Chain A
């Protein structure tokens, strides 16, 4: 067997199910690694060792009695600290909610509990989930396990770093403009931003509810498929999921891409990519083609309108949620967070309604042009090499804004379009940090995306590569 911390979700669950590993051993090992490495990565808010170990022992006892086990039985995880668990503090990366204790539990945590997962505790995030790089003015910047001077990606910074550093095999994050995909890309792991309305949001701190999605960060697409199968599907606590299908995403992972076509849209996404990233993207397309996918070229338009609409929708919805705190506790916000929310107070209501009204037609147009007749779109997750923390926090306001704009260039619009996306590691840029491509699908097209990502990962090593110092000696 591999070193315990190298095991992914499926391997851990399988080993516990067949008795070759106990849930208590797996949980203890994860708790030890979180305590040992979590602080340097600024990945952990708090852990619950007693509760987690008690649950793990109960899992082992249930197995010994021959009781049926869930698909995630005994698998240790920790999650972005914006998912509520009744009675446990949930700060959302903020000072303002540092002592907030919810009286409800997020639907996604309830579903993971039912599947047998062990919740170890809370992982750090950007303040109010509002930084693509992992900036948190109050609790420190997220650190990248590949190089701590570089951005971990945000806003699910702790989730990305913890999974990449093999502290836990999986974590949930949330994505309003790329907050699952940025840390997945920057830390070299796999992240799924589901279709808006596939995974219930109830019990999660909102940023902009029309754009928010909750999804898994794992090392492999197969692991992500198992988690998505558990957390997706309709819930009476979130009416936006009324049309969400329930399915076994793992069952569709055949390794074969015959019959699947992948569109590569020009020029918006690829023209922004650095040469070394572009070369890695093209290499990944070759692999996907070798696995049987047909690659087609398409064109994309209206990105300025889509990006503007997304920015307006996010600012208005966030400003609506934050207005009272902005007035009453302005000094408790970081400057970058405040400057992103504040413009939301300036838009007329009619403009917001226009943005809501444009969403259907702009999404239909994007699908028709960027995707055409294909099953999915292949674009960069991050069009440039992972930036250093200094490059996104120091210098003129214009330089910082430009650096942040490059990070979100390929991600933010996807949330306005409501579409699913999977970020997949595809090599290393000139600075030695991970590179990643996104596969963007049709509404509820996660099965096809995961099938393609899994087929790619069966013949490439990038998702299995541990950051220096975090792998087996």
Chain B
């Protein structure tokens, strides 16, 4: 859990909101499609926000898959039988 949930909330300024609105207004979707897109975006936004609140904290966040790749790289170099995990 995050120590301070507020740190994962976005801050918005009038300028940022105006920019987002400008981009969206430039999107040539009809109102029904725009509404559908907004609904999808809203649901995804909420799901990611929840996951971030539950999992991310400032102390130990691996920022990329490369963290896993370092371990995997040496593993991938070994002969397959040496990596097998037979009981």
Binding site for B on A (CB under 8 A): 195-197, 243, 245, 247, 252, 259-261, 294, 302, 304-305, 308-309, 311-312, 315, 323, 326-327, 330-331, 335, 338-339, 342-343, 345-351, 354-364, 367, 373-375, 397, 418, 442-445, 447-448, 451
Q: Is the CB of B63 within 8 A of A354?
A: no
A311-B43 Cα distance, complex, nearest whole Å: 11
Q: Is the CB of B28 within 8 A of A294?
A: no
Residue among B27, B36, B52 making CB contact with A357, cutoff 8 Å: B52
Q: Is the CB of A339 within 8 A of B36?
A: yes
For chain A, what secondary structure do more than half of its interface residues adopt (helix, strand, loop), or is it mixed? helix
Residues of A within 8 A of B47 (CB): 304-305, 308-309
Residues of B within 8 A of A448 (CB): 80, 83
Q: Which chain B residue shows the least CB distance to A261?
A: B85
User: Can you list 16 A-B pairs, Cβ within 8 angstroms, ordered by A?
Assistant: A245-B76, A247-B76, A247-B77, A260-B80, A261-B86, A294-B86, A308-B47, A311-B40, A343-B44, A345-B27, A346-B45, A357-B56, A358-B48, A443-B69, A444-B69, A444-B73
For chain B, what secondary structure do more than half of its interface residues adopt (helix, strand, loop), or is it mixed? helix
Q: Is the CB of A347 within 8 A of B45?
A: yes
Measured between C-beta atoms, what is the minimum distance from A429 to chain B in Å? 29
Measured between C-beta atoms, what is the minimum distance from A347 to chain B in Å? 6
Binding site for A on B (CB under 8 A): 8-12, 20, 23-24, 26-29, 33-34, 36-38, 40-41, 43-45, 47-52, 55-56, 61-70, 72-73, 75-77, 80-81, 83-87
Measured between C-beta atoms, what is the minimum distance from A223 to chain B in Å? 20
A142-B66 Cα distance, complex, nearest whole Å: 36
Q: Which chain A residue shows the least CB distance to B72?
A: A443
Q: Which chain A residue shows the least CB distance to B50?
A: A305
A239-B55 Cα distance, complex, nearest whole Å: 28
Q: Is the CB of A445 within 8 A of B48?
A: no
Measured between C-beta atoms, what is the minimum distance from A279 to chain B in Å? 28
